[in-house]
Structure 1
Amino acid sequence: MDISAIDTLEAIVDGDTIVPGMNFVLPAGVGKTQYFNPSTGQCTPDYTKAANQPTLYPACYSSNLGSFVLPDMNSFMWYLNDPGSASAQILAAPGGAVAAKFATKFQKTTYTVNNKTYPALKIIGNLASAGSLNDAVIYFKGTFNGMEVTCHGDIGVKESVGNLFDILINCVNEDGVNDTVIDNDSEYLVLTASLQDSGATVQASGAWSWLRATAAGLVAVTHTAGVTELSNGNRTLKLYDPAVEGTEEYFASVVHNSVTHRKGIQVSDTHDPFYINIGRSTPSNMVKEGDTVVYRPSVLARSSRAVQTGWSFTFTLRDHNGSTVKTATGTSLTVTGTEVMEKGGLNVHIIATKS
């Protein structure tokens, strides 16, 4: 029996580790990059149009509870580009309304999924312009289970010159709601990939395929009824409970004009009988070059949260393209800030095995 967990270390409390995450709710055909055309002055997608407006919400995972947790709804703050600057605060006060200077760019809202209502932020104004072609980073800072956690989501900003290809993955649960978690209310997830050029969907010239990140590397996904079901010319992957043990990473891949494009997405299952407490030595996943992070994982029973014995652990460090950086086995893993900085961030994939 195998279960897995993934922690993302980004370059830049005893008893629990909160794994920060930011989820995007994306309208059909809209990705996480906005393109600015210098000839026309137009943005693609145009966030001023309601049909194109993405929403972000913090999806922070408690390694001790084995579930996603809600923040304190009265003390959170959203920031644009700098979580340490008062001038970057999107809200006028913690948990309050959007500040006047950001009122044309953002809208405070909520997002309900898996019977939990999260604080959320909708983008209602364009972030790209002739004088602003830097990526926009939206930060959320809040308190989870008594710990302050900062998570962020990136909106890429690019000038649409030539071909700029990217893969967009839309993930919904059985109710058609944007979600990446299988739980007691969702028995499967549907992932649909599309190829975009400067934000506009295009027809790929070659074949689509899906890959699953494993301890042995990226492995091709095949059609298996009730587990991993492929359809729509392999653009769509339907994941059932047996395909997601803990937290997994799947990659959509397509060949277009003899060039291979690949994009990954992490999905989770929070109703398995066992789960991994990753045991990260630092409360934050933000790592500086001189830092050292140690993982001492354990397996817990979801019903009682009691630590289980007889499990062995395999560790795999991957970059954001899914390429393996380092592997190890044992009871702990040490990751240095230098390793994280060299790759601009790492995914730490932990697999627990019991024979």
Structure 2
Amino acid sequence: MPELAAIVAHLAAPDRGQAVLATLIAVAGSSYRRPGARLLVTAASERLGSISGGCLEEDVLARAQRVATTGRPELVTYDTSAENDLVWGVGLGCHGVVQVLLEPIPSPAPAWVATVTANLAARRPTELAVVWQHPTSEPPLALGTYLAAALPAGFAPVNAEIFRESLRPPPSLLIFGAGDDAQPLAALAGQLGWSVTVADPRAAFATVARFPTADHLVVAPAADLVARLAPEPAALAVVMTHHYVHDVPLLRDLLPLNLSYLGLLGPKKRADRILTDLARDGLTLNSDQLARLHAPVGLDLGAERPAEVALAILAEMQAALTRRDARPLRERTRPIHD
């Protein structure tokens, strides 16, 4: 999604000149990227995004220059499944066939760019579809035609292959606590393209100077922070205030929510004490709500310094988002992207 946001932002810019958008449409076998990966070639031959591990980009750049000149889209197939493939297979990920659609994007941008831009800004999902096979479609459709930025369920023209993609806003991360250890967490999450909110009762800590990459900074009493933020159902949250009296009301308000992930910094005994106090105060939680609490937060990476702790936390969050078990890839018997 960070790549898509950068691509759409460039396409929406005025007077940007002709651009060519390469979209990975289909994959059979192994590939570094999955369908939906995009590479934008600008009028200045600059590149935004990627569609492979680096081996296809130079060829795509050359083809993009031709597409920009002719104004006609192209569908290209890269076949690396042959045993004697030494040109593409080494970089592509071996034994894969990928199809890439290259399409000219004129300036000013077509309507779908504005729709995607608005939906990204408002954190709304978008259904995007593009024609990539059209031998005898009804109604007649051209290769590269964007049918709409928001399609009705079940829409499908006859005799045409449509690449349909659900574009979701980036993950929303809520960091409760603006201490020094929250700084690398916010910075790393920002590099992942996540929407980051840092909240703290102390105005002197939740500042732009300390969190220059955060999307939002919120200052309020701990008992009011969750209500002020109104977390999205799929948001991720981590409580790291280092103050017991702050953590208790925060967890009281966060635990009943249907979050994708909830973490608490600190030892397990401390978390158990907080849960005991909350139960004594009348908070009733079911097993699913309790299971969502990751305490201590993070994977066991032997982390000690703040940046290492941030890495351990984000790794566990990423695994939760993708529903993976965070085991080493060498122990995986199935393809990486399955």
User: Do both proteins adopt the same fold according to a TM-score greater than 0.5, normalized to the shorter chain?
Assistant: no
Q: Is the helix fraction higher in 1 or 2?
A: 2
Higher relative CO (Cα under 8 Å, sequence separation at least 6) belongs to 1
TM interval, shorter chain, is: under 0.3
Q: Could you say which structure has the larger radius of gyration?
A: 2
